[in-house]
Amino acid sequence: MLADDMACNARNKYPAQVFNNENHKLNLYGDNVEVDYHGYEVTVENFLRVLTGRHEAAVPRSKRLLSDEGSHILLYMTGHGGDEFLKFQDSEELQSHDLADAVKQMKEKHRFKELLIMVDTCQAATLFSQLHSPGVLAIGSSMKGENSYSHHLDSDVGVSVVDRFTFYTLAFFEKLNMYDNASLSSLFTSYNPTLLMSTTYYRTDLYQRKLEEVSVTNFFGSVMETIHTDSAYRTTHSRKTSETKMPLQESVKHDERRQLINSNVQDQTSDTKIEDKQCPFTRRWNAFQDKLEKIERIDSLVNYGFIIMFPLLLIIMFPLLLISTWLLPTFVS
């Protein structure tokens, strides 16, 4: 969910591009980034609907959280926040008890197995203070009473481009490759309070596993659990015999399909025939329309039209003018 207040801001010198570093090397709004909720759709209500799954029936699959009992979910929230709230669109607030409620309902309905919440706002740790569902791990960039700061200012764009917590999280992941088995505890302990200018706080009381044993790919990297397929399911003779019987029926179906297609084509030809039998007026009108469509320099036509219009107007309006100003008053008065 991106409120797009930066990417689509009229004052953004690089429209639809969001950088995380002043060297502008990486455009975070790249080609294969899919944003499901943009702009005005980012509301507290929609956020809670996504979490709990309570959508209207017509909402498409791309806007739903399609998780089940075995899913691991990463929830990353960043923006402005305060004591027990997070700000949405500068006008609404997400309260910590609403978030805790939504997570509790998700757990009741088995919508996740493990959930990692990362919050990067001022007083971030207060946002998950009311959680009490098992299987949830949460880390915030600052504690109650502390602010979270941005990392550096991009003087070209004119605003700070990334927050400190996010910057150091990205830096941690840039150092890893796919086969490294970094654990979550190494991620959580990599944050330096002096560099961040705030103290990160994480709560593990609701999470059963030890952080040293959990790999970061548990939540990051879209990694799937896989099982090898040992054998294919083969039948021996019966399949071949049934196959030879099938083609007869199959070919009938193909013929029917071909007939269907043919009938469509016939309809089209009959349509054109009908046209020839129309009255001359409609024929001319259709021809006129066809000609119009063929005109390429349409704007020159429009200009000609304007030029022609004035004298035409004068010719038509003149008698009317005459009547209204000279003749009518004499009749009336």
Partner 1 sequence: MSEISPEVPDNRQDAPSHVDPNSTRITKPGVKRLVLTLSVLFSLVLGFPFLWKSVEIYRSSLPFGEISEMESNPSLSFPCRFQAVFINFNSNPSPNHLQLSILDKITELTSNSSQCGACANDLALSVTVDSISSCTQTHPTDNSNYYRCGAISAVDFDFSNDDDDGVDELLESVLGVKNVYSVVVVNGGGEGIRAVVGKYRHAWIVGSVEEEEEESVLVSRVAEIFVKMFVNGGTENGLIHGEFMPVGADRRIVLSFNLLNAEPNDWVYDWDFQRVDETLLAPIIKVLGPIANISVESQVLYHTPKSSFSYWDEKWKSYIFSTKDLPFFVNSNEWHLDTSIAAGGRSKILQFVVYVPSAKECPLSLLLPTGEISKTNGFISPMWGGVVVWNPPGCLNSETNHPSRHTMSREDLQAVFEVFMGQFRQLFGLKSNNLYIGASGTYHLLPSGKGFTEWELDVLSRQFACFNLHSCATTLGSLSRLVQSLPRMIIMDEIGKLVQFSLEAAKLAQSNASLGDNESSAGQARSLAEDAFFHPSIMSISYYSFEHCFAIYSPFFLPVSMHVLLAALREWKRYKQEKAKYTAWKAKVKVES
157 and 178 Cβ atoms separated by less than 8 Å: no
122 is catalytic: yes
Which residues pair with residue 119 across a beta bridge? 77, 140
Q: Strands of 92-95's sheet, edge to edge?
A: 81-82, 85-88, 92-95
- Closer Cβ to partner 1, 47 or 207, answer by number: 47
The interface mask with partner 1, positions 167-206, x = CB under 8 A, is -----------xx---------------------------
Min dist. Cβ of residue 111 to partner 1 (A): 11
109 touches partner 1 (CB under 8 A): yes
- CB under 8 Å to 78, separation ≥6 — which residues? 119, 120, 121, 163, 166
CA distance 185 to 196: 18
333 touches partner 1 (CB under 8 A): no
- Closer Cβ to partner 1, 155 or 231, answer by number: 231
Of 11, 23, 25, 69, which one interacts with partner 1 (CB under 8 A)?
69
Q: Look up residue 215 and give its DSSP letter.
A: B
Span 203-262, contacts to partner 1 by CB under 8 A: 217, 221-239, 242-243, 246, 250, 253
41 touches partner 1 (CB under 8 A): no
CA distance 191 to 52: 31
CA distance 47 to 89: 12
- Closer Cβ to partner 1, 128 or 202, answer by number: 128
Of the candidates 56, 60, 133, which has an alpha carbon nearest to the alpha carbon of residue 102? Answer: 133
- CB under 8 Å to 290, separation ≥6 — which residues? none
279 is catalytic: no
The catalytic position among 8, 38, 80, 132 is 80
Of the candidates 94, 108, 17, which has an alpha carbon nearest to the alpha carbon of residue 54? Answer: 108
Number of residues that bind partner 1 (CB under 8 A): 54
122 and 80 Cβ atoms separated by less than 8 Å: yes
CA distance 83 to 97: 12
Residue type, 68: D
- Closer Cβ to partner 1, 225 or 293, answer by number: 225
- Closer Cβ to partner 1, 194 or 235, answer by number: 235
Min dist. Cβ of residue 17 to partner 1 (A): 19
The interface mask with partner 1, positions 116-155, x = CB under 8 A, is ----------------------------------------
Min dist. Cβ of residue 294 to partner 1 (A): 36
Residue type, 221: G
Catalytic residues: 80, 122
**Residues found near partner 1 in the complex (CB under 8 A):** 32, 44-45, 48-49, 52-57, 59-62, 64, 66, 68-70, 98, 101-102, 105, 108-110, 178-179, 217, 221-239, 242-243, 246, 250, 253
